[in-house]
Structure 1
Amino acid sequence: MQPTRLFALSAVALAALLAGCASSGPFNYTAPNLPAQPEGASGWTDKPGWATEKFAVAAANPLATDAGYQVLKAGGSAVDAAIAVQMVLGLVEPQSSGIAGGAFLMLSTGREVEAWDGRETAPAAADEKLFLQADGKPMPFPEAVVGGRSVGVPGAVRMLEAAHKAHGKLAWADLFKPAVDLAERGFQVSPRLNTLLQSEKFLKNDPVAAKYFYDASGQPWPVGHVLKNPEYAEVLRGIAARGSVALLEGPVAQAIVNKVNQHPTNPGKLSMADLAGYQPKRRTALCHDLLSQANQQTYQVCGFPPPSSGAIAVGQILGILGQTPGARLKPDAAGLPTADWLYFYNEAARLAFADRAQYVADPDFVQPPGGSWSTLLAPGYLADRAKLIGAQSMKVGQPGQPGAAKTSYAPMANQIEYGTSHISIVDADGNALAMTTTIEDQFGSRQMVTTNPARSGGFLLNNELTDFSFAPADAQGRPIANRVQPGKRPRSSMSPTLVFEKAADGQRGPLVMSAGSPGGALIIHYTAKTLNGVLNWGMTPQQAIDLPNFGNTNGPTMLEEKKFPPATVEALRVRGAEVREMNMTSGLQAITRTEIHGKKLWLGGADPRREGVVMGD
């Protein structure tokens, strides 16, 4: 894959590239020497794009990226590095992910593509009325989120433990050293964390969180304040020594259960048996072909299957788009998507989100249409869907019938989704990882757990159960596939994606790309945008990430504010689209494989809208 233009590389990246491959050895963690304030929390900070030769790691915070870098430099695997990154993210980016959340991990070993499901589950005592008020109507979102009601059984740590047993190279305990060290020494509050705390309305109502995140006057700790979390360090030491049982059984588990069930106004229904019984799942990656308009190369795009809706929706959008005149349209002279291209993209998105609402839920509870989720990505089905796109917007797309499928389920209404963080990694052995990780809403359920109130800090609980449909059925009584049920995993939009060349004989070829993003339901669009930019428009990952954001969840067309000319907005409206310009803060990370001047390189990109960076040798 040849990019149309090599993005400027940072001095650090060039120095690393020229230095060649570093030798590996035992993992001796070194405290990082990184900028105290890597960038603004909002707005835009230009990223240079990075190039490395041997390995690369892209994560949402420089301290987390550095932890993964040190693991890779010591000879660790991509899975090893992801564990170290996740534990640091739980400390420095607690609003997005953590040890009491869930994750989807895509891994390429060169032989196969693995999909590791660490999604949270509903407690055994939960039922479909969990989010209904006394009058039978769904609860307002904030009332449902804050407290114990929304907390699902955490799955990320046990999933990572299982993946490490299969693919780890360094000792499990060593991978916790960076996070433990930072938690004890302290880290400087970033601009983004400070800004989110400034706007947060509910977190300080929790006594443990209030003591940790705010000063004595109730103000968020300022940017640069050194924040220590000895309780988190203590919990991590237990997990490092004893594995996931240290989190899901014993005193820490009891503290989680107490926090959930003893909430004074909004208790949940979590039990010790729920935690101890959690099991991650190995699922079959959902792969589909994509023909590039840039070089006529066919790629195999592999994403996470249900309970994630990401791979299906991304594949449907790009597949339907490829059957329209939009497939042949390029960016304008300024490098921006044109109004015509945006029109076809967003009409395709309406159709994809209609199918998402109708069909996608936990496959252990819901059968896929036609007996296979691949029916939703079948070329003939997507071609038929593309024929529904006309000269004027359809306004609201309707679900299709893949494989002559008939369903008794009702479509799920649009519902708020938030949160998450993304990690992309390639190691020195060529293994590639894409992992999207979450506690769902900003600061999750706003409940912070500690086993020792005398010790500062702790960890935040997820609010993942609000990804279920609040309403269990429609007005006609038809059940909604993604309703709450005991032990069920809520539908997700997380879209960790690995892309490969496809050989002429139909076999999977070399890795081309690892990518993903946070952003709730808009994760699907952020990821699709980046895949399209790299694969169809020949961009570097940084160029594709830098493109303005846009999307449609089967309603108004959303455009990132102040990024598109008025003529583009007006042209979409003329074609019948309702357009809303708004803040669309993605957090994309991507790594691609390319060859420049005969040298094979990893090119990395990180979102200028957030704090992420790429590191490697």
Structure 2
Amino acid sequence: MTRNSLTGALLLCSIWAWPAAAQQAADAVAPEAAAPQTEADAFAELGQAARDALAARDEGKPVTAQDWMVAAANPLAVEAGAAVLERGGSAADAMIAVQAVLGLVEPQSSGLGGGAFLVWYDAASGELTTLDARETAPLAATPTYFQDENGEPLAFYDAVVGGRSVGTPGTPALLEDAHRRWGKTNWGRLFDPAIALAEGGFAVSPRLASQVLEDSERLGRFPATRDYFLPGGTAIVAGDRLKNPDYANVLRRIAAEGSRAFYVGAIAEGIVDAVRNAEGNPGLLSAEDLARYRVIERPAVCAEYRDHDICGMGPPSSGALTVGQILGMLAGYDLAGLGAENPESWRLIGDASRLAFADRGRYMADSDYVPVPVEGLVDPAYLSERGKLLAGDDALPEVSAGSPGWSHAMLWGQDSAIELPSTSHISIVDAQGNALSMTTTIENGFGSRLFTQGFLLNNELTDFSFETHDDAGYPIANRLEPGKRPRSSMAPSIVMKDDKPVLVIGSPGGSRIIGYVAKAVIGHLDWGLDVQQAVALPNVVNRFGTMDVEAGTSATGMMQALADLGFEVGETELTSGLHAIAITPEGLSGGADPRREGIALGG
């Protein structure tokens, strides 16, 4: 890519002087709607390279490049990251620029008020590292925090909207930790693109406008939120010029002082005030919770599949474990021979997913609080044995958790926590060969709906189980406890072959993230699809028994056949947001999910 091809990104950065992260009830909650098809108008100020990338995505073609690539959920954010990479910055540097812009232009999905998981491949050492920036429960919270005076679980949105659901944000700390480890560029300058957009204004995208309109009632409950998203009582619309000087001020403080400016002092006081004084549903987050927050480095979790290692984030994320389990159970079956349009392929994938989700509900939670049999859950022998359950001709009549190898014995109850489909994903490869996969979130669309100092606060605590014990009286591993991190399904992944990365991938989508990522990996490795074809492949997902088939796609033609195999089948919107980069001897190839507004851009 030439410097001129990044015209839009460089205009965006013109001030830049470059220096030397109840289950069935989740089905009742509508997923994020697909992006309206008016993006060309909304992104009229994009440079030509980004416009070409949008066209390639819509034509079903991957974007190719030789040296570096970034794929993320909004073209403005991708341009900011591309400008960093073009000037020699690292994947970590580019991620900071991307995340800062995403928090402005896609605030319903991620931002400073949320958390993230990051997977990093270091080209110099050949090592994989994962960073856990998941939100934490307030120290004052108790296991019955989401129960009423009668000990009954709160209705979901009664818990979500307001301060009760807000956990300590982790994203600002993650940005600084990643930069300290792997950054090459001046920290403060990485926020310049987002600051310029926040002060100069950006065009509201069709996706943001549609989400605001859909959620107007909840967004209107709190004055600061209402004033920003519903000025004068009317929802913002696509093409509106939206400015956010408060967000620019917060970014300036972080740029000048580091993430400590977020966790101690005036910004932190504003967060605590918003949470503890949320009308009708105050929370417990304190200044001490913010001051004590730390990112945790954890070992990557890898599972074998087709001579590859599928690597990602371990507990408190269930993503890498559950994706790895699905793929491990399928290893003995010829999906390549069956093909992508064969109901038998999806019978195998669907039931493998059901078995994996049974283990997920029983065993997976924050391993700093409860023992998790990580090695046993992805042990090839265990998965091979579980995979034998798929050998029949029909859907499994029922599934239950297995018995993975343990270093000690403990019996947990089955969880019923809901995880909603918002979030965002960033995939980056830099010119030095480093690879970054990061899934980032404020949980539900618009999180807690609390807006302070230009950003939304998460509702991550509702990813905990509202119940403390199951019906049999066994404690639930993912119950809420002080300081604990709620279980997640985020699955930022790096696929390795002969100790080298060959695919960087991840998706938003709540607990369906797991199925989206597994589908794309299978599409790429088994069915020979390029990255754009793999992310665009129709979604067919089974978590708890119902086979969800993506509405309006060719997959609906399999619905009767799947029903004949014994599945309960439902047609629904399945709005994944997969962003993937394949690394080949010929160069880089990027794909962006056509269901959302993102692109891949490289040079």
TM superposition score normalised by structure 1: 0.88
User: What does 1:37-436 correspond to in 2, within 5 Å?
Assistant: 45-110=58-123, 111=125, 112-200=127-215, 201-216=217-232, 218-291=233-306, 298-324=307-333, 326=335, 328-331=337-340, 337-369=341-373, 373-389=374-390, 390-403=392-405, 406-413=409-416, 415-436=418-439
Deviation at 1:461, TM superposition (A): 0.2
Please tell me whether the aligned partners of residues 92 and 187 of structure 1 are also in contact (alpha carbons under 8 angstroms): yes
Partner residue in 1 for 2:486: 490
Deviation at 1:567, TM superposition (A): 4.8
Deviations, residues 298-325 of structure 1 (Å, cap 9, x unaligned): 1121111110100011111111112235
What is the number of residues matched between the two proteins?
A: 563
User: What does 1:494-505 correspond to in 2, within 5 Å?
Assistant: 494-502=490-498
Partner residue in 1 for 2:35: none
| Distance (Å, rounded) in 1 between the aligned partners of 2:423 and 2:17 | 29
Deviation at 1:35, TM superposition (A): 7.3
Any gaps of 5 or more consecutive residues in structure 2?
A: 7-14, 19-42
Deviations, residues 550-577 of structure 1 (Å, cap 9, x unaligned): 1111220111012135551111111110
User: What does 1:21-40 correspond to in 2, within 5 Å?
Assistant: 28=17, 33-34=45-46
Partner residue in 2 for 1:564: 554
Partner residue in 1 for 2:591: 605
Deviation at 1:471, TM superposition (A): 0.6
Deviations, residues 481-515 of structure 1 (Å, cap 9, x unaligned): 0000001000000000001212xxxxx2x220100
| Distance (Å, rounded) in 2 between the aligned partners of 1:491 and 1:119 | 9
* Secondary structure at the counterpart of residue 579 of structure 1: strand
- Label 1:470 to 1:46 Cα distance change in 2 as closer, same or farther (>3 A): farther
* Secondary structure at the counterpart of residue 580 of structure 2: strand
| Distance (Å, rounded) in 2 between the aligned partners of 1:500 and 1:408 | 34
- Letter in structure 2 aligned against 1:211: D
Please tell me whether the aligned partners of residues 60 and 421 of structure 1 are also in contact (alpha carbons under 8 angstroms): yes
Deviation at 1:27, TM superposition (A): 6.0
- Label 1:386 to 1:433 Cα distance change in 2 as closer, same or farther (>3 A): same
Please tell me whether the aligned partners of residues 426 and 433 of structure 1 are also in contact (alpha carbons under 8 angstroms): yes
Please tell me whether the aligned partners of residues 38 and 190 of structure 1 are also in contact (alpha carbons under 8 angstroms): no
Deviation at 1:32, TM superposition (A): 10
| Distance (Å, rounded) in 2 between the aligned partners of 1:473 and 1:129 | 11
| Distance (Å, rounded) in 1 between the aligned partners of 2:60 and 2:204 | 21
Please tell me whether the aligned partners of residues 184 and 233 of structure 1 are also in contact (alpha carbons under 8 angstroms): yes
Deviations, residues 435-482 of structure 1 (Å, cap 9, x unaligned): 0000000000000013xxxxxxx1100000001001111123211000
Please tell me whether the aligned partners of residues 300 and 314 of structure 2 are also in contact (alpha carbons under 8 angstroms): yes
* Secondary structure at the counterpart of residue 368 of structure 2: coil
| Distance (Å, rounded) in 1 between the aligned partners of 2:419 and 2:555 | 28
| Distance (Å, rounded) in 1 between the aligned partners of 2:404 and 2:539 | 29
- Letter in structure 2 aligned against 1:548: P
* Secondary structure at the counterpart of residue 557 of structure 1: strand
Deviation at 1:48, TM superposition (A): 3.2
Partner residue in 2 for 1:555: 545
Please tell me whether the aligned partners of residues 47 and 607 of structure 1 are also in contact (alpha carbons under 8 angstroms): no
* Secondary structure at the counterpart of residue 164 of structure 2: coil
Please tell me whether the aligned partners of residues 77 and 169 of structure 1 are also in contact (alpha carbons under 8 angstroms): yes
Partner residue in 2 for 1:577: 567
Please tell me whether the aligned partners of residues 103 and 111 of structure 2 are also in contact (alpha carbons under 8 angstroms): yes
Partner residue in 1 for 2:463: 467
Please tell me whether the aligned partners of residues 75 and 597 of structure 2 are also in contact (alpha carbons under 8 angstroms): yes
| Distance (Å, rounded) in 1 between the aligned partners of 2:47 and 2:541 | 34
Partner residue in 1 for 2:31: none
- Letter in structure 2 aligned against 1:227: L
* Secondary structure at the counterpart of residue 202 of structure 1: helix
Any gaps of 5 or more consecutive residues in structure 1?
A: 1-11, 18-25, 292-297, 332-336, 451-457, 503-507
* Structure 1 stretch displaced more, 414-423 or 128-137: 414-423
- Label 1:567 to 1:459 Cα distance change in 2 as closer, same or farther (>3 A): closer
Q: Which has the higher helix share?
A: 2
Please tell me whether the aligned partners of residues 491 and 514 of structure 2 are also in contact (alpha carbons under 8 angstroms): yes
Deviation at 1:417, TM superposition (A): 2.2
Partner residue in 2 for 1:442: 445
Deviation at 1:539, TM superposition (A): 1.4
Q: Percent of counterpart pairs with the same letter? A: 47
| Distance (Å, rounded) in 2 between the aligned partners of 1:252 and 1:168 | 25
* Secondary structure at the counterpart of residue 128 of structure 1: coil
* Secondary structure at the counterpart of residue 165 of structure 2: coil
- Letter in structure 2 aligned against 1:446: R
Please tell me whether the aligned partners of residues 436 and 516 of structure 1 are also in contact (alpha carbons under 8 angstroms): yes
| Distance (Å, rounded) in 2 between the aligned partners of 1:342 and 1:475 | 32
Please tell me whether the aligned partners of residues 304 and 380 of structure 2 are also in contact (alpha carbons under 8 angstroms): no
Please tell me whether the aligned partners of residues 46 and 608 of structure 1 are also in contact (alpha carbons under 8 angstroms): no
| Distance (Å, rounded) in 2 between the aligned partners of 1:374 and 1:32 | 49
Please tell me whether the aligned partners of residues 506 and 517 of structure 2 are also in contact (alpha carbons under 8 angstroms): yes
TM superposition score normalised by structure 2: 0.90
